[in-house]
Amino acid sequence: DGGAGAGGGRTGALSPPPVTDEVVQKIDVNPPKGTRDFPPEEMRLRNWLFHNFREVSRLSGFEEVDFPVLESEALFIRKAGEEIRDQLYCFEDRGNRRVALRPELTPSLARLVIQKGKSVPFPLKWFAVGQCWRYERMTRGRRREHYQWNMDIIGVPEVTAEAELMSSIVTFFKKVGISSSDVGFKVSSRKVLQEVLRSYSVPEILFGKVCIIIDKIEKIPIDDIKNELKLVGISEVAAEELLQVLSIKSLEKLEEVLGGAGEAISDLKQLFSLAEKFGYSDWIQFDASVVRGLAYYTGIVFEGFDREGKLRAICGGGRYDKLLSTFGGDDLPACGFGFGDAVIIELLKEKGLLPNLNQQVENIVCALDKNLQGAAASVATKLREKGQTVDLVLESKPLKWVFKRAARINAQRLILVGLSEWQRGMVSVKILASGEQTEVELANLE
Ligand SMILES: Nc1ccc(Br)nc1
């Protein structure tokens, strides 16, 4: 129509747009800092890992859910001093909305539960496998994204829910060849902290902040812990008692200190008794120092650790009975865990348990003459319709090249489409492992 088209700006009705020999700046072909590509070999391992996550979740009767990677920033703004907040990958979008790449999945799950309200049958048993993000100064050279497997139970106040979740994780470990001599769970309850703080009349509002400080107990000097506790208003006496209690490693000792009347002890006793019944007692141990680094946990907390102590926590979780109400939803009991895709791979490498995953195809189909490319395509389609995997050679190649490719992709059979055979309604089939070669009628090819 001669108007100012997509080229824009030009005036002459029919003049072609100016040719600009635009020099394309050589782009960096690496993925953004802190992120990973998944080329085929890595993708096969990732798919294997996620398949095991999903299989275990399915075995336990959980339903898969997912949410946007991008969420309102408000979902993650908590004022307890968490690292996850400091490293939030957040920005303002073109609509001037404050948004964030999710650093974890639980708040999104809580949002969806509230959104669904009473339209979903409780208790909910949902799982997700999703990419989570953090914006960390690259000084530490750590990754900015990882995939997390989450399982959550919403609507069950009893510790049977936490016991069920740990049972699923144990099932996963066993499924990939990891035993209780390789990993264990440190288990505690935030009600331990709560009962100590209450005995010193510390306001409940400080609970989340104190937990976040205590979670750093093995990461920063003890004097810094005491100083941070003091800064949020915890007396030195209360801080001393807290740190004493956190060093307890047995339920009997804990009961001596706290007394037997509190919920912390009864929850933990019930959990350890259920673990016995589930059959994973030798996987778990009480450790009062476990508090986890998320402010919203309110009860049982646990983390999976490698017994050699070489790796960071493999997974972690716990009860978060107040999270939904902080989003304006009804108070609903909830518990769940997160299981990252990085440490587990390091552990499997350490234990020599990485699976051997090569590309596998059943057939490679090749036309021996370029005029038979169509015939080869019809053979490929016929096999594929029977559910057979086929790598179809798409251009005229020397046989040496075809054999080399067949070996590289671990093809089981080489199907050669040659003129004389084709004219007789036949193709040549070579079993690559044995070298046995036969002519097969097309009608009988399967
Ligand atoms: N929360 C979070 C997100 C991303 C990575 Br990597 N690690 C932790």
Band (54; pLDDT cuts 50, 70, 90):
very high
pLDDT tens digits for 185-198? 999 999 999 999 99
Q: What is the pLDDT of residue 15?
A: 67
**Residue among 89, 102, 133 whose CB has most ligand 1 atoms within 8 A, to mutate:** 133
Q: Read off the tokens for 146.
A: 């990882």
Q: What is the pLDDT of residue 7?
A: 40
Alpha-carbon span 84 to 302, nearest angstrom: 18
Alpha-carbon span 105 to 75, nearest angstrom: 10
- Long-range Cβ contacts of 327-331 (<8 Å, 24+ apart): 327/75, 327/107, 327/110, 327/111, 327/114, 328/114, 329/110, 329/113, 329/114, 330/114
pLDDT tens digits for 385-419? 999 999 999 999 999 999 999 999 999 999 999 99
pLDDT tens digits for 217-263? 888 999 999 999 999 999 999 999 999 999 999 999 999 998 888 99
Q: What is the pLDDT of residue 20?
A: 66
Tell me, in angstroms, the distance from the centre of ligand 1 to residue 134's CA.
5
Q: Read off the tokens for 370.
A: 């370029």
103 close to 76: Cβ distance less than 8 angstroms: yes
Three-point CA angle 74, 80, 82, nearest 5°: 85
The residue-averaged pLDDT of 57-79 equals 97
Omega of the bond leading into 203 within 30 degrees of 0 (cis): no
The residue-averaged pLDDT of 355-371 equals 96
Q: What is the pLDDT of residue 17?
A: 63
Tell me, in angstroms, the distance from the centre of ligand 1 to residue 136's CA.
9
Q: Which residues pair with 317 in a beta bridge?
A: 302, 337
150 close to 318: Cβ distance less than 8 angstroms: no
Q: Read off the tokens for 7.
A: 């080229």
Amino acid of residue 362: E
Alpha-carbon span 245 to 256, nearest angstrom: 11
Nearest CA, atom 3, ligand 1: 133
The residue-averaged pLDDT of 308-325 equals 97
pTM score of the predicted model: 0.91
180 close to 283: Cβ distance less than 8 angstroms: yes
Tell me, in angstroms, the distance from the centre of ligand 1 to residue 314's CA.
13
Secondary structure element (H or E) that encloses residue 51, with its range: helix 40-59
- Res. 16: pLDDT tops 90: no
258 close to 195: Cβ distance less than 8 angstroms: yes
The complex's ipTM? Answer: 0.98
Tell me, in angstroms, the distance from the centre of ligand 1 to residue 292's CA.
14
Cβ neighbours for 187, distance < 8 A, ≥ 6 positions apart: 166, 268, 271, 272, 284, 285, 286, 287, 290, 300, 301, 302
Nearest CA, atom 6, ligand 1: 145
Tell me, in angstroms, the distance from the centre of ligand 1 to residue 39's CA.
21
Describe the crossing of helices 263-278 and 251-258 by its angle, rounded to 10 degrees.
160
Low-confidence winner among 134-143, 316-325, 335-344, 359-368 (lowest mean pLDDT): 134-143
| Ligand 1 atom closest to Cα of residue 104 | 1
Write down the residue that tokens 């003890």 correspond to: 222
**Any residues with Cβ below 6 Å from ligand 1, and which?**
84, 103-104, 132-134, 143-146
- Res. 9: pLDDT tops 60: no
pLDDT tens digits for 153-175? 999 999 999 999 999 999 999 99
Alpha-carbon span 186 to 307, nearest angstrom: 11
Tell me, in angstroms, the distance from the centre of ligand 1 to residue 130's CA.
11
- CA gyration radius, the chain: 30
**Residue among 71, 85, 143 whose CB has most ligand 1 atoms within 8 A, to mutate:** 143
Q: Report the relative pairing of strands 315-319 and 300-306 from DSSP bridges.
A: antiparallel
Q: Read off the tokens for 325.
A: 């109400």
